[in-house]
Amino acid sequence: MKQKNWLVQLPLSGKIMIAVVMAIACWQLFVPPIVGLADNGDYGRVMKIGSLVLPAMEYESQFYNYINLKYIVHPEESSVWYGTSQLLLVKGAVIANQLFTHNGLFDLRIMGAVHTLLFLLGIIGLLWATRNVKRIVRIPIYLLFVFIFCDVAYIAHFNSFYSEPGGYVFLFMLLAVTGIIVSLQPQENNGKIWLYLFFIFATLFVTSKAQNVFLSLPLAVLLILLARGSFKPAYSKLGVILSLSLVLISVLYYAFGRPKEVIQCNIYHMVFSDILHNTTTPAADLESMGLDQSYLKLAGTNWFTLGIPIREESFQNDFFGKVGYGIILKFYATHPMRMMETANRGAIAAFSSRPGHMGNYEKSAGYPPRAKSNKFSTWSGWKDGLPDAVKSPFMIVYLLTNILIWWLRKRKYSVDSPERMVGNLHLT
């Protein structure tokens, strides 16, 4: 008997959800006024390697204020290698663009289409994995999913060259594979295929952005547990091998995937955009790091501020020759309260969904510089509107909720129950 395809096996509520997600994403990304996320200076890392350049225009239209939809396809030698799995999507989008257009221009909405397609594939996998969950549980989850993950705070990234949307869609593909592994019985599986797919999407996710590298360890542990718990005992060894490979790739990526310029950019921001910007004693802070007082004038600037001396040989030698991550760690070790303040600002920033200094519209749409779209923004509007004093504790409560779900699912539900599978996905 011929097996039904995955879409046919989905309940009606799942099929409706796919249509709703597609409609919301297309409304934001492709229906005027087009929504995206303006360049903060990071586009160039990926664009040059992807054989794309921005047409000549004034600085104010290039960065922060507006999105630009048209780029010139122009292969050129890039002086900076920036390792990210997002390059696979950019290269794929450029190739797809050239199949349909022959005018030498690239439309940013092709990136939006690529991201949307992968996002939908991940959602279909998740819906299939949860198809047997009771309707009273399943439908509220669907509604909450659409409400949160289709918010403009996330979807706007799809029309951009940032590496975040790549990590976002690879994460959903990874979640889909995880859900399928947990939901299928061992005898239904071709176990090796699913373990390899988990490894592939986990690798793509952790190498999309350097910050994701540290998630390779919990993902490696999860891969081992899935191999031991969901498949034949013979697959446990494969799970260990793939997990160790994932960690090794992550270490190599972190060591060699970030060019010198990106490392210097991070150090500059830590010192001038954070330490010296958020202090009442900038002179003392400079002295503590062994730096000259002449750097006081750079406090509050960032790597992309016009006129800063980052390319000058003297600055390269006198600043970057002295300051590295070790100096910054030493500063925080001797100033523990400053470290707590930085951690608190980081928690608040992590809780906030939308960069306040980057616009969502084209200049031709007639909106003011750095204007934000309100298309499907209820979730991010509510979350970002919470007082800062609530945001850090909220993150702690979320972690405690994870622990509670883990405990409940172990005590209440059997190994193969759909409810326990939902708990697994939440924790992942």
Query: What's the confidence (pLDDT) of residue 427?
Result: 46
Structure pTM? 0.83
Query: What's the confidence (pLDDT) of residue 88?
Result: 93
Query: What's the confidence (pLDDT) of residue 75?
Result: 74
Sites in the chain below the pLDDT cut of 70 = 1-7, 76-81, 185-191, 230-232, 347, 350-351, 388-428
Q: Cα–Cα distance between 90 and 105 in angstroms, integer?
A: 14
Query: What's the confidence (pLDDT) of residue 385?
Result: 78
Query: What's the confidence (pLDDT) of residue 414?
Result: 45
Query: What's the confidence (pLDDT) of residue 188?
Result: 52
| Token output for 127 | 């819906």
Query: What's the confidence (pLDDT) of residue 80?
Result: 57
Query: What's the confidence (pLDDT) of residue 177?
Result: 93
